[in-house]
Chains A and B, each alone.
Chain A
Amino acid sequence: DADVTQTPRNRITKTGKRIMLECSQTKGHDRMYWYRQDPGLGLRLIYYSFDVKDINKGEISDGYSVSRQAQAKFSLSLESAIPNQTALYFCATRPRRNTGELFFGEGSRLTVL
């Protein structure tokens, strides 16, 4: 089983709908991240969390919210999805004491019609 698991892997939704992407990890890491990948733009940071009480905005947090329900779970929500939120979303983790390497999930592909 994957150490960083994202659900769903694929989702098609309509404009205005609420959608939640979930991430769970078995690595015991306290840092968790949500990135968005778009062709030609690379990965851009949406939100990150140092622990369950510490949530931080990334560079493109508008239109998104997150919840850190437990050390192992970090969810990304789109309250009212819009077509330009169509993208591949990645969750990543890392331990507090390391030199920065991130461990990625396999991604969640979201299409907003």
Chain B
Amino acid sequence: AQSVTQPDIHITVSEGASLELRCNYSYGATPYLFWYVQSPGQGLQLLLKYFSGDTLVQGIKGFEAEFKRSQSSFNLRKPSVHWSDAAEYFCAVGAFGGATNKLIFGTGTLLAVQP
């Protein structure tokens, strides 16, 4: 069965520091992978997505993620965090095909940014 694991429930970084949020997935075929961000009181916004091709994908707000098939990972990175990046981040894998047509989300990582 498809699944997504985000091992870090809560992360705190200092403003200006680098960030890496971990995501591991389980999926039988080539996955569609996504990172979404949820700011307080808001819906989810897509940061970036991977379908095929270059395994390093660039997203909005200076984020990037790298797909590593051998590790079943899709970690999100940012070289320098801003206070406005404080939010909850969700990794998701797309399960499409046959009777399946949905995104499966991880449990989220809550990011706090210290001044």
With a cutoff of 8 Å between Cβ atoms, the chain B residues found around residue A74 in the complex are none
Q: Please state if A90 and B44 are interface contacts (CB–CB under 8 Å).
A: yes
Among the stretches A12-20, A42-50, A64-72, A79-87, the one at the interface with B is A42-50
Closest Cβ–Cβ distance, residue B10 to chain A (whole Å): 10
Which of B9, B45, B49, B105 interacts with A43 by CB under 8 Å?
Answer: B105
Q: What band does the interface of chain B fall in when counting residues whose beta carbon is under 8 Å from A?
A: 20 to 34
Q: Does B101 contact A (CB under 8 A)?
A: yes
Q: Which of A35, A42, A45 has the most CB of B within 10 A?
A: A42
B102 and A106 form a contact (CB under 8 A):
no
Q: What CA separation (Å) do A68 and B113 show in the bound complex?
A: 41
**Quick one: which of A35, A42, A50 contacts B107, CB cutoff 8 A?**
A42
Cα distance, A105 to B45, chains bound together (Å): 10
Docked-complex contact B32 and A100, CB < 8 angstroms:
yes
Question: Can you show 10 pairs from A to B with CB atoms below 8 A apart?
Answer: A33-B102, A42-B6, A42-B90, A42-B106, A90-B43, A90-B44, A92-B44, A99-B51, A100-B51, A105-B43
